[in-house]
Structure 1
């Protein structure tokens, strides 16, 4: 397992991060979740990503239990704040000072730790002044409860504003967590160039496009039993955009590319996002330990330029590149 610096900070994280969105506390039983976490540790993964909103806080609890007994200094624990939690009352969501500070205490308790290595604003909050949010993060950093601060799915303009405020308040904004894969490249036009300028790294989620890039979904065929496309707890909704025959046909054509490189389809997909120098780590999820081991095999892989060109040629116009799609992830209006 190789490690990369996160932004311009001194913090190093593993190229592969284990994440538990849509799995721990919901899709996967606790024993299986613990086995996946231990498989990640065995593969050399030191970085673990979660969020308080995942399974309404249950995912953080499961991760904390799974990491018990591990040397804390050898781990990088990442979590997020924004989404509605608890009974979802008026102050149980967003990035107000009240919610950020209270949510941090809850995450620390559930994760069984006295500090969070990277605390991330899960979305941009249009209902709270950015100055209020960044001041709350600055206070958590000074208290030692948070070591570093990042965001998720922010636009280039939002990153620039947040970075400037962080500097004024005496801390660094070092990361952004966007969706990024061979099929979803919306960050390449604006977010990545701005991030390079600011010294912000990408911590990317869904590098395998919810499992579509493994090739297990075939055009015209029923989704495999137990796969994310059959999950009624949210997984099927997230993967729906890729379950089109034109996309699935193109993905099947990637099999020879992976084969020529001696990689599985999942390894090819994860290795592909890691070719982008602004990407610090790719977050993988799993429901079985063997999936963790397979995905972790993408660490350190260098895909030749001709193979990268073949991938672009094969996928063609099914790739989404519109930078405006990032803005859609943070609703400008939300119930409070």
Structure 2
């Protein structure tokens, strides 16, 4: 069964394998299959579920809410996010203004079929809204009982410091950040993780398998597999491009004997690698079919010994992206309406 870890400097625990529905629910996967996959996640011991109001322009939240209907709410940890455009994408349907936050939390709760979310996350940093306004609104959301904790996604070390200070001044807890992190994308290690450790913030990481590249199914010099994320022009193909160079794919193939030596599959190795970082509380995984989860959840509790972790680092040396300046490129400098 899936193990649980504390999130940030709090008494709140989440499943270290967290189910996420970006690019799948109400998009790549029919609703019936999506609901079956969520039920499989529950059967396997996953209790934490991550979504966002902008996934499939709010529809993904509705699918997740339907899938979780009838479950004991107290036994679940539900996370959602606010920032990206939703609805008709008008001038106030975007960002971290008080108006957008307070309207968005109400919409998310209705779609998810719950009175509260466990963690409400700022999906990016909003350069066009004063940070004080954003955290005053978050504090009101928490005091109204609509969220228990506040998190962020893809914030820089400096933004986390400023946000943490404001959260503390308003009497609420900023306990998490949700960045991209994998053995191939390590940009948070230089600044974000040290700042987070100091502040009592931990990471809920997305794309621990580098958009599936670390599964080993993409081969150097070969066409990408039909039906894979690399062929999905609706979103997946854009994100995976950076990892499809032959030198990267050749390096990934060097991970196979390391995985075999550790008694793991390639996907399990990728997830175990990120979970070996003590500042990581959970790795978000998605699935288009229930059976896919049976493999990935086995990474929970699979302690990667130092020699195996060092071997992964050596195999990917020269192709893994580590530049901490990349963390400053994640949030748009202006809203995209």
Task: Answer yes or no: same fold by TM over 0.5.
Answer: yes
The equivalent residue for 1:270 is 271
The equivalent residue for 1:108 is 109
**Could you tell me how far apart the structure 1 residues matched to 2:61 and 2:176 are?**
20
**Could you tell me how far apart the structure 1 residues matched to 2:314 and 2:201 are?**
30
The equivalent residue for 2:11 is 10
The equivalent residue for 1:284 is 285
Superposition map of 1:204-243 within 5 A: 204-243=205-244
- What are the Cα deviations for residues 282-321 of structure 1, in whole angstroms up to 9, with x where unaligned? 0001111111111111000111111111111111110101
The equivalent residue for 1:300 is 301
The equivalent residue for 2:49 is 48
Query: What is the TM-score of this pair, normalised by structure 2?
Result: 0.99
Residue 168 (1) aligns with residue 169 (2)? yes
**Could you tell me how far apart the structure 2 residues matched to 1:220 and 1:61 are?**
40
CA contact 2:94–2:335 (8 Å) conserved in 1: no
SS in 1 for 2:322: coil
SS in 1 for 2:58: helix
Query: What is the TM-score of this pair, normalised by structure 1?
Result: 0.99
The equivalent residue for 2:198 is 197
RMSD: 0.7
Q: CA deviation at 1:225?
A: 1.3
Q: Which runs of 4+ in 1 moved over 6 A?
A: none
SS in 2 for 1:318: coil
Q: CA deviation at 1:187?
A: 0.5
Q: CA deviation at 1:132?
A: 0.2
The equivalent residue for 2:140 is 139
**How many aligned positions are there?**
336
CA contact 2:37–2:290 (8 Å) conserved in 1: yes
**Could you tell me how far apart the structure 2 residues matched to 1:48 and 1:259 are?**
30
Structure 1 unmatched ranges of 5 or more: none
Q: CA deviation at 1:335?
A: 3.9
**Could you tell me how far apart the structure 2 residues matched to 1:68 and 1:335 are?**
34
